Structure 1
Amino acid sequence: MASPAHPAPLPPPPLTGSARTWGTLALSAATFMNVLDTSIANVSLPAIAGDLGVSPTQGTWVITSFAVANAIAVPLTGWLSQRFGQVRLFVASVTLFVIASLLCGLAPNMAMLIAARALQGFVAGPMIPLSQSLLLSSYPRALAGLAMAMWSMTTLIAPVTGPLLGGWITDNMAWPWIFYINVPVGIVAVLVTWGIFHKRETVRRKLPIDSIGLALLVIWVGAMQIMLDIGKEHDWFESPWVVACALVAAVGLVAFLIWERGDDHPVVDLTLFRNRNFWAGALATAVGYGLFFGNVVLLPLWLQQYMGYTATQAGEVMAPVGLLAMVLSPWVGKNIGRTDPRRFATFAFLVFALVLWMRSNFNTQADLATIMVPTIVQGIAMAFFFIPLVTVTLSEITPDRIPAASGLSNFMRITAGAVGTSIATTLWERRATLHHAQLTEGLHHGNTALAQALQGLQVGGFTPEQALAQVERLVNQQAFMLAANDIFYASAVLFLFLIPLVWLAHAPHASKGSADAAAGAH
């Protein structure tokens, strides 16, 4: 980028003492609230749909509307923060998020709830990238890794807490409370953040609005998110609706890239991809997160649908993933400046591969302890995943471009999570169909094992029809377990293939990167 005519003003010095502690807590609480809302409504959909008198399929728009609006807003963070200032934008974002949460809880019908969720998703967009940027500016260079550790713990724990908390609130209170709980948290976060950071506002620039770029962004991201949401339900490209969304997304993306490259004030700064550390780090984070999130969705689905677990029990199985992540993240943060972060990221991918390989050996007799062990071990991988990769991604980005870089990398991560979920669940069902066909090939009326099983069930009091239905249920359970094993194994292999991508980045130096962003060096 061209050097400005006047030297940029020096950023404020790092915070110290209680101001830094309270600032970190406020920023982390806002981030936690944001990430929590991406998953908290999932388990409450049946209750919401029933209460508002719509089908569960229509109820999924409660999730989709948030995801589409959020995906559009996240990459706009860099442009918005330059126009309005990072602190003002963050405080406005959290304030509007609280108002939107209140509107969600008060919604009298599904149309109002979907509109409020879309508003909530859009205003939430800048919160995560700006919380990263403001945290980095609050810590001295030597503690930049610790700042990212504090930030990453909220993004690691919230997706796991969401379904557990959402299920409990829906069962014991009422579904509007999954939105009302944001109100007190958001108000405290706004008051504390403004009190500490309002004198540390960044320089604002009167940038013109790239209306065409913004319109193209809305079109292609919206079409892609809708395609991912309705794809499985409509058998993907067998449906003209899915094909239409895919075409709109593809054409819109190409037009968007061409327009943004030629615009003087683009809404998304694509020149960031000229930096090797940014694109390598952002791509490794996105693909790794897509694999991780796809499997995070798949495991509780398998447990609930084919292993007899309730939603709360499945949530309890997933919850321990945060234990080792919380313990190890501060250690990783403190040592990230002394160790090549690419080594830490490599270790994370190896542990993820180990965890998924362990899961690929599950069977229908797997007890709670067997299922829990990989989940606990996964916490190690999560601690070594986000912090090093964020460090690599932002290591050669100047402080004024960190909101744009963080926004773009988070957009890639969120999008990859949606893609990973769609691919994992679709392949799971297709592999299950294949395994079901293979398992039933030998089950014909002349099969001795089948005859003995049916006879045994009938002796136990089943009618012939009930006995056949029971055998079919067991075959189905086995087919979906084998399909889950396939997905777990393939994901383990893909994590190993990600390791070379991390090493395409340069080794971040102590004088560069997110540490510099913390110190405000140029």
Structure 2
Amino acid sequence: MDNTPPPPDALQPPSLARRLGSAATGTLLGLTQGFGLYLVSSNLSSIQGSLGATAAEASWLLSAYFATAASATLLLTKVRLSMGLRTFTIGSLLIFLAISALHLATDSLVSAVAVRAALGLAAAPLTSLTVFYMMQSLPARFAPFGLLLGFAALQVPGPLARVVATDLLEIGQWHGLFLFDVTLGVLSLAAIHAVPLAPQPRRNAFCRGDLLAFPLYATGLALLCVVLSQGRLHWWTDQPWLGACLALALTCIGLYAMFDLGRDNPMIDLRWLVSPYMLRFVTAVLLSRVVLSEQQVAIVGLMNALGQSNDQMRPLFALASLGTLLGFPLAGLISLRYGPRSLSVISAALVAAAAWMDAGSTAATRPQDLYLSQTLMSVALAGFFSAALQLGFGPVLQDGGKRIVSFLAVFSAAQYLGTLLGSAWINTAVEWRRQFHYQALVQHLAIGDPEVAMRLAQLGGSLARWINDPIARAKQGTALLVQQVNREAVVLAYLDVFQMIAALSVAMFVWLGALAWLNRRRAAATPSSPAAAPLPTTS
């Protein structure tokens, strides 16, 4: 047991005030962790100006964060089990606060990338602390709902960051974003002192072999994150160093697997991980993250291409935040009534419907035209996340929690890699389809065509007030026409991507529906099947 003596009130049944305090603390921790990631990822174009960097250079801020965050859950879960929950809670939040404050002193790209890499590691503990506090806020029999509410608090900052970022950037540009996050960190530190977590058993979770296994595992995941985040910007086959990173990543992961499989106490139970159930689970998590990237990547990209800024998209993402917030309780009710497998099927149907609605967009589409589809997409995100948690955590906890470290490591890595994979796939597909549509549109533009000539004359005439030379006006008119053609090609490319996402979601709907049907048949034959069991109600 943690050596720190519990306060007297911790030995008594939690009062209503204490439960409310735990819920408020969990919410605050979730917002702190989420904003630390999403305030940067949703404002790279503004941040690059503050740091004097190009778009490709600024993207390393995300690469650095994901590279360390992908493996941090495994390391820090073991640290928490070894140190005890209370010592870990205070120590991790102090480190997070110190690193967040370092952002206020960074004025160059190199220092900013270093600080982001450190924050990716330091922010990982806040995820588990958020969940612990939410579960502590409810009676033990409602612990599954506390789990869902904890992850809801972690997901809401995604769309909400685009709502609050504009005002923060006006306060202090890059530093303004982290002034807000430091403030949340200070409030979180005060909250965990006011409402401490109940102590938990601690044990030595490290083995001597981890000194070799973890660096191989972490290096492999970090290099994969770099390839996925940088591949589209530098183009996949144009830069030899991308191939070298990918080869080295696969080598490190392969060496780690060979080493860990030969140990009695591996860091991750790889044999359990390659079981059919876990392979289906990880595949479903990755695919759900890919299709859910439509909101943060495809929709934002389309709106930016049409000249819409974060400020103009604030109402859209306010509704998306509300959809996420309401989606988790709704997902819990659906799961309680129909089961988590049916919830995942419904979520896939919602994504397909939302993506199909977005596929009807045009160059005249504005954020207000996407309110319904993106609210549905946010509800689907909550549904997928809730189903994944229940289908994954349920069997793990019913097995006595022996594989909880392995599950948390795999689930976290799948979330981060799935997010990067979704972004890479969407941006690559957009560029590929843009080139296709641009060539197709240009083929129909002939100078001798009366309609083209009239359009060029109109565009050139619109510049007559500023350009007197008719030859210069004609050149500028041609340039404007090329811009319009390119914008139309970009819009058509995004519409193709929306259709691809809808098709992938339909395929997921069929696959998940078939798995749910087969599970019902097995459950009818063997009612005690652990794979079909709901999430246990133990804390």
Range 281-290 or range 328-337, more displaced: 328-337
Displacement of 1:311 after TM fit?
Answer: 2.7
Q: 1:250 matched to which residue of 2?
A: 250
Q: 1:183 matched to which residue of 2?
A: 182
Three-state SS of the structure 2 residue aligned to 1:20 is helix
Range 271-280 or range 379-388, more displaced: 271-280
Is the contact between residue 286 and residue 414 of structure 2 (CA under 8 Å) also seen in structure 1? yes
Q: 2:394 matched to which residue of 1?
A: 395
CA offsets, 1:334-366, max 9 Å, x none? 453332111111111101110001111111122
Three-state SS of the structure 1 residue aligned to 2:446 is coil
Displacement of 1:503 after TM fit?
Answer: 5.3
Q: 2:408 matched to which residue of 1?
A: 406
Displacement of 1:138 after TM fit?
Answer: 5.5
CA distance in 2, matches of 1:206, 1:354: 45
Q: 2:161 matched to which residue of 1?
A: 162
CA distance in 2, matches of 1:430, 1:316: 31
Is the contact between residue 44 and residue 175 of structure 1 (CA under 8 Å) also seen in structure 2? no
Displacement of 1:268 after TM fit?
Answer: 3.0
Q: 1:1-400 to 2 correspondence within 5 Å?
A: 17-42=16-41, 44-46=43-45, 48-132=47-131, 135-136=134-135, 139-140=138-139, 142-193=141-192, 195-205=194-204, 207-209=206-208, 210-273=210-273, 277-305=277-305, 307-334=306-333, 336-398=335-397, 400=401
Displacement of 1:409 after TM fit?
Answer: 0.5
Displacement of 1:467 after TM fit?
Answer: 1.9
Range 253-262 or range 265-274, more displaced: 265-274
Is the contact between residue 363 and residue 481 of structure 1 (CA under 8 Å) also seen in structure 2? yes
Change (3 A) 1:419 1:270: same
CA distance in 1, matches of 2:435, 2:501: 20
Q: 1:430-509 to 2 correspondence within 5 Å?
A: 430-461=432-463, 463-499=473-509, 500-501=511-512, 504=515, 506=519
Displacement of 1:378 after TM fit?
Answer: 2.2
CA distance in 2, matches of 1:338, 1:458: 63
Three-state SS of the structure 2 residue aligned to 1:396 is helix
CA distance in 2, matches of 1:261, 1:133: 31
CA distance in 2, matches of 1:21, 1:510: 36
TM score, norm. by length of structure 2: 0.85
CA offsets, 1:255-301, max 9 Å, x none? 22222222233333434426655443343122211221254212112
CA distance in 2, matches of 1:245, 1:322: 36
Change (3 A) 1:498 1:140: farther
Three-state SS of the structure 2 residue aligned to 1:236 is coil
Displacement of 1:456 after TM fit?
Answer: 3.4
Displacement of 1:216 after TM fit?
Answer: 0.6
CA distance in 2, matches of 1:212, 1:503: 41
Is the contact between residue 341 and residue 512 of structure 2 (CA under 8 Å) also seen in structure 1? no
Displacement of 1:325 after TM fit?
Answer: 3.0
CA distance in 2, matches of 1:198, 1:413: 26
Three-state SS of the structure 1 residue aligned to 2:63 is helix
Change (3 A) 1:511 1:171: farther
Which letter does structure 1 place at the counterpart of 2:505? F
Displacement of 1:238 after TM fit?
Answer: 2.3
Q: 1:7 matched to which residue of 2?
A: none
Change (3 A) 1:375 1:361: same
Is the contact between residue 77 and residue 129 of structure 1 (CA under 8 Å) also seen in structure 2? no
Change (3 A) 1:91 1:279: farther
CA distance in 1, matches of 2:265, 2:97: 31
Is the contact between residue 136 and residue 146 of structure 2 (CA under 8 Å) also seen in structure 1? no
CA distance in 1, matches of 2:405, 2:230: 32
CA distance in 2, matches of 1:86, 1:281: 29
Displacement of 1:136 after TM fit?
Answer: 4.0
CA offsets, 1:341-400, max 9 Å, x none? 111111111011100011111111224432323122323323322212211111101263
Which letter does structure 2 place at the counterpart of 1:345? S
Which letter does structure 2 place at the counterpart of 1:519? T
Three-state SS of the structure 1 residue aligned to 2:313 is helix
Displacement of 1:139 after TM fit?
Answer: 3.8
Displacement of 1:105 after TM fit?
Answer: 1.2
Query: Matched residue pairs, number?
Result: 507
- RCO comparison, higher one (Cα < 8 Å, 6+): 1
CA distance in 1, matches of 2:34, 2:285: 17
Is the contact between residue 31 and residue 131 of structure 1 (CA under 8 Å) also seen in structure 2? yes
TM score, norm. by length of structure 1: 0.88
CA distance in 2, matches of 1:138, 1:273: 32
CA distance in 2, matches of 1:14, 1:465: 78
Change (3 A) 1:498 1:142: farther
Is the contact between residue 284 and residue 502 of structure 1 (CA under 8 Å) also seen in structure 2? no
**How much identity, in percent, do the aligned residues show?**
18
Three-state SS of the structure 1 residue aligned to 2:395 is coil
Range 356-365 or range 20-29, more displaced: 20-29
Displacement of 1:48 after TM fit?
Answer: 4.3
Range 223-232 or range 498-507, more displaced: 498-507
Provide structure 1 residue ranges, at least 5 long, that are not aligned to the other structure.
1-11
Displacement of 1:418 after TM fit?
Answer: 0.8
Change (3 A) 1:269 1:338: same
Change (3 A) 1:142 1:393: same
Change (3 A) 1:184 1:483: same
Change (3 A) 1:491 1:150: same
Which letter does structure 1 place at the counterpart of 2:414? M
Change (3 A) 1:237 1:99: same
Which letter does structure 2 place at the counterpart of 1:122? L
